[in-house]
Chain A
Amino acid sequence: MPKKTHVQTEINGEGVEFLCEPRQSLLEVLRDELHLTGAKEGCNNGNCGACTVRLGDRIVNSCLVLGVEAEGQKIETIEGIATSEGLHPIQQKFLEHAALQCGICTPGFIVSSKALLEQNPTPSEEDIRFWLAGNLCRCTGYHKIVEAVVDAAKSMNAEVADNG
């Protein structure tokens, strides 16, 4: 039995240490060891995006990352997106547009959408659909999700303009 490895990371802005076996995925570590159950296990093979988290400067499927690979990395999960002031604009717009039903895919969609809007604050509908192709939703359908992201981009840009 391989021994457990000590891993040091930063998750949602705080230093976090954990022990894990090499065979445990980052998703399993987040959910089972650290009790951050926002990221969901859907397909467990990289198709559905329900386990999307930010790892360093890009988003990944946490089911396709080993926990031991997180050593020294910065991770952001859905739990790190709302602040004490309230919901993130993307979360707010998902609610307003009813862009979710069962909610299993929602954390992945929000983490992915946030990464898109940070990189491209004014995406076209096509940009949004292309970027979110790695996130599957089996109940709401995609239209409301895309509308929520378009509206979130607008409200985030308006906020930037107000503060500018």
Chain B
Amino acid sequence: MQAFEYVAAKSISEAIDLLSEKGDQARVLSGGTDLIVQVREKRRSLELMIDVKQIPEVNEISYNATDGLVLGASTPCYRIYNNTDIKSAYPGLIDAVSIIGGIQVQGRASVGGNLCNASPAADSIPALIVLNATCAIVGPSGTREIAAKDFCTAPGQTAMGKGEFLTSIKIPIPEKNSSNFYLRFIPRNEMDIAVVGVGASVVLDENHKSFVSAHIALGAVAPTPLYAEEASNLLAGQGISDEIINQAAEAAQAIARPISDMRGTANQRKHLVGVLTRRALNGAVNRVKETE
């Protein structure tokens, strides 16, 4: 691997100063499961890795029934799926972080890193989008928040500017009669990259007969993860039926603009968007019913 300097930053301000000074020659290190591979394989060169895991607020999970979840950007997957609050409030996020790499990767890889790596096929991002997650960013000019659906701007590119970095992800408390779900298609059983991934969240009426609202997000079918706005909106106020779920699946297919590559053809991906959207919606609906 190329030579570089390493600093374990102790505070947010120290990390901002280093990032501002070094520009794109510095990169934040959390779990390293993407960054270390990219540097080793010479897909990225840098002069400095800034380890942010020792900054308390970047590596903590806090949840309460008023403010919801604040997930430190560097928190590794295994701490997320072992957290009982997250398990009950955001099962769709658990679905995603349980299938990122294998157990060893989950010991290091973080949701913040998944966002910042900005892969179109990132498993956690559709799950975050349907939970209305926001990304808390700090930089030389202060703090700002970006919706998870607007965080990625192109493959490997994010909405963060020079000197900025992601400190945490905020997710509002779940509404009554709501749940969420994420699934992907891969040709293996485990340890693979999504051919297509779909996240769904639903809020149902008290009798579980109709949708109050729904959100659907798609992975691996465009240069960035996509929020399927029209498909989501057409479910609001509708009775739960195969017909309306099929309509939502078709609307989701309509915005998918996949490429053909070694993982699958564009046609196969379009087809999968329909199948997985139906399964994600039904999965979320069933979870609402099961929790009663």
Contacts and interface: CB of A to CB of B under 8 A. Distances in A.
Nearest to B36: A64
Given A45-B40, A47-B191, A66-B36, A22 B4 contact: yes
A133 B191 contact: yes
Interface string B40-54: 110000000101000
B261 interface: no
A135 interface: yes
Contacts of A24: 1
B140 interface: no
Interface in A52-73: 52, 55, 58-61, 63-66, 68-69, 71
A76 to B, nearest CB: 13
B5 A2 contact: yes
Interface stretch (B101-109, B208-216, B237-245): B101-109
A96 B102 CA distance: 27
Contact of B4 (A23, A61, A65, A112): A23
B141 interface: no
Contact of A133 (B3, B32, B190): B190
A147 interface: no
A21 B3 contact: yes
Contacts of B3: 1-2, 21-23
Contacts of B6: 2, 5, 22, 66, 68
The winner among B1, B2, B36, B40 for most chain A CB atoms within 10 A is B36
Contacts, number: 89
Contacts of A129: 189
A58 B105 contact: no
Interface in B175-199: 189-191
Contacts of A25: 1, 36
B63 interface: no
B117 interface: no
Contact of A45 (B4, B37, B76): B37
A107 interface: no
Nearest to B51: A69
A2 B4 contact: yes
B196 to A, nearest CB: 20
B4 A131 contact: no
A110 to B, nearest CB: 14
Contact of B102 (A44, A71, A133): A133
A131 B105 contact: no
A47 B105 CA distance: 9
A52 B8 CA distance: 24
B104 A23 contact: no
16 contacts: A1-B3, A2-B3, A2-B4, A2-B6, A45-B41, A52-B104, A58-B76, A58-B106, A59-B107, A64-B32, A64-B37, A65-B32, A66-B36, A68-B6, A133-B190, A135-B102
Given A46-B37, A61-B104, A66-B29, 20 more contacts: A2-B3, A2-B5, A5-B6, A21-B3, A22-B49, A23-B4, A45-B41, A47-B191, A58-B107, A60-B107, A64-B36, A65-B36, A69-B51, A71-B8, A112-B103, A115-B103, A130-B190, A133-B190, A134-B104, A134-B190
Closest 3 CB pairs of A and B: A134-B102, A22-B6, A133-B190
